[in-house]
Amino acid sequence: MSPFVYTANPSRVVFGAGALQGLAAELEALGARRALVLCTPEQTALAHRVAALLGDRAAGVFAGAVMHVPLAAAQAARDEAQRLQADCAVAIGGGSTTGLGKAVALVSGLPILAIPTTYAGSEMTPIWGLTEDGIKKTGRDARVLPRTVLYDPELTLTLPVPLSVTSGLNAIAHAAEGLYAHDGNPVTALMAEEGIRALAAALPVLLHHPQDPDARSDALYGAWLCGTVLGAVAMGLHHKLCHTLGGSFSLPHAEVHSVVLPHAMAYNAAAAPAAMARIARALGAADAPQGLFDLARRCGAPTSLAAIGMPADGLHRAADLAVTTPYPNPRPLDRAALRSLLQRAHDGQPPQQ
Ligand code: NAD
């Protein structure tokens, strides 16, 4: 066994169909009396259901969560929390809503109770993100880690199939990079492999049976594990490419992850053989990058950057950006190799090692 360091993020996780019904008791356990419920405009009805469950412990609903947490949305939520004298933020939704809760917690220290309804995994991380003038800043701060997370698979039954698939692949990406992270450890490796296994088994079922309770439960369980890995260890080339493409070319978050992941894995394959073996085993595939590409294609996820809006004349700039302030990565970053990786991803070709 190689030496390692493992730091667990302290949060309470309550998992299971119907877990939402325990919300009031969980809020009480946090000692909160005036919760501000956060959501996207599309999930307002669900947020009001949550507020009703909380009764007089609900201070109000703020339905202003937007992708990538624009500073104006963060400021509006912070002002609302202050105006209502909220002592807790309940974030119900995907990564955008959890991100808004984190923006509130970052300045106020309010505890967050997160109720995830996608597989993005933000609820298990102390990572915040804020976008100002088109530039996304991220950082780590223990204050933004949700104190309690309620995982209720019933809330994911409404997640459209295409988003279920891309969000699931987004989660798999956290685990895949966690397996070769320079600060990885045996515990996160176990979680990563099991998270990939659970999601890779559930996504093809959801494709044809989106209401299947067992597949929904398995997918959310996988997402929890993958999110935990993201929160515990450093991410590499794949996340760097996705942040570059998402941030500088406004490409949709989960779709970018779906397209880039097999190519980033292929880039790192020779430098991280043990990680590749575990990913392949979790996928039940002979080869990790090709197995991820096949999974994405089989589940109908986009496999080309061109198809999700990446202009061909932006690939040079994307390669330039990817090598500036790189994330730690098992294979050193080579601009020419990354440029051809981006070309293959753009054109929808299979990954090449
Ligand atoms: P999202 O939160 O933007 O949600 C996408 C859409 O799906 C929204 O309209 C939302 O209302 C809707 N939706 C969510 N759950 C639904 C459900 N169950 N049924 C029907 N509709 C539903 O998307 P996301 O992919 O979850 O989050 C992406 C954001 O999260 C990005 O900004 C990304 O950077 C961030 N993120 C942050 C971290 C972190 O650790 N900080 C981790 C992962 C993702």
Q: Quick: pLDDT tens for 117-141.
A: 999 999 999 999 998 887 778 999 9
Which burial class, exposed, middle or buried, applies to 33 when counting CB atoms under 10 A from its CB (0-12, 13-18, 19+)?
Answer: middle
Residue 200: the pLDDT is: 98
Residue 173: the pLDDT is: 98
Task: Please give the distance, rounded to the nearest whole angstrom, from the Cα atom of residue 306 to the centre of ligand 1.
Answer: 22
Q: What fold is seen in the domain 161-347?
A: Dehydroquinate synthase-like, alpha domain (1.20.1090)
Task: Please give the distance, rounded to the nearest whole angstrom, from the Cα atom of residue 96 to the centre of ligand 1.
Answer: 5
Higher per-residue confidence, 1 vs 32: 32
Mean pLDDT of the chain: 96
Q: Relative to the CA of 125, which ligand 1 atom is closest? A: 40
| Nearest C-alpha neighbor of 37 from the set 54, 13, 15, 14 | 54
Tens-digit pLDDT profile for residues 3-35: 999 999 999 999 999 999 999 999 999 999 999
Residue 325: the pLDDT is: 81
* Residue to mutate, 118, 211, 216, 251, ligand 1, most ligand atoms under 8 Å from C-beta: 118
pLDDT > 70 fraction of the chain, expressed in percent and rounded: 100
* Residue to mutate, 9, 43, 240, 251, ligand 1, most ligand atoms under 8 Å from C-beta: 43
At 328, the pLDDT band (50, 70, 90 cuts) reads very high
Which burial class, exposed, middle or buried, applies to 313 when counting CB atoms under 10 A from its CB (0-12, 13-18, 19+)?
Answer: exposed
At 184, the pLDDT band (50, 70, 90 cuts) reads very high
* Residue to mutate, 20, 37, 39, 42, ligand 1, most ligand atoms under 8 Å from C-beta: 42
Q: Say if residues 165 and 300 touch (Cβ distance below 8 Å).
A: yes
Element (H, E) at 273: helix 273-283
Given CA atoms 28, 30, 32, 37 in this order, what sign does their dihedral have?
A: negative
Q: Relative to the CA of 41, which ligand 1 atom is closest? A: 11
Residue 254: the pLDDT is: 93
Task: Please give the distance, rounded to the nearest whole angstrom, from the Cα atom of residue 125 to the centre of ligand 1.
Answer: 14
Judge whether residue 300 has pLDDT over 90: yes
Q: What is the CA radius of gyration of the chain?
A: 19
* Per-residue b or e along 251-281, where b marks 16 or more CB atoms closer than 10 Å to that residue's CB: bbbbbbbbbbbbbbbbbbbeebeebbebbbe
Q: What residue has token string 């809503």? A: 97
Which burial class, exposed, middle or buried, applies to 3 when counting CB atoms under 10 A from its CB (0-12, 13-18, 19+)?
Answer: exposed
Element (H, E) at 135: strand 135-140
Residue 353: the pLDDT is: 87
Tens-digit pLDDT profile for residues 40-64: 999 999 999 999 999 999 999 999 9
Judge whether residue 65 has pLDDT over 80: yes
Chain-centroid distance of CA 78 in Å reads: 23
Domain 12-156 has CATH 3.40.1370.10: no
Task: Please give the distance, rounded to the nearest whole angstrom, from the Cα atom of residue 336 to the centre of ligand 1.
Answer: 33
Locate 193 and state its tokens. Answer: 């492999």
Please give all residues whose beta carbon lies within 6 A of any atom in ligand 1, as ranges: 40, 42-43, 67-68, 93-97, 99, 117-118, 120-122, 125, 127, 129, 155-156, 158-159, 163, 167, 230, 253-254
Phi then psi dihedrals of residue 106, to 5 deg? -60, -40
The residue whose CA is least distant from atom 28 of ligand 1 is 95
The DSSP-derived string for 224-244 is HHHHHHHHHS---HHHHHHHH
Judge whether residue 104 has pLDDT over 90: yes
How much is the pTM? 0.97
| Nearest C-alpha neighbor of 90 from the set 135, 121, 137, 47 | 47
The DSSP-derived string for 74-85 is HHHHHHHHHHTT
Lowest mean pLDDT among 20-24, 52-56, 186-190, 244-248: 244-248
Q: Say if residues 267 and 341 touch (Cβ distance below 8 Å).
A: yes
The residue whose CA is least distant from atom 34 of ligand 1 is 68
Locate 151 and state its tokens. Answer: 């995982």
Residue ranges of domains in the chain = 12-156, 161-347
* Residue to mutate, 67, 137, 144, 165, ligand 1, most ligand atoms under 8 Å from C-beta: 67
Tens-digit pLDDT profile for residues 144-177: 999 999 999 999 999 999 999 999 999 999 999 9
Q: Relative to the CA of 116, which ligand 1 atom is closest? A: 15
Q: Relative to the CA of 66, which ligand 1 atom is closest? A: 3
3-class DSSP state for residue 93? strand
Tens-digit pLDDT profile for residues 199-212: 999 999 999 999 99
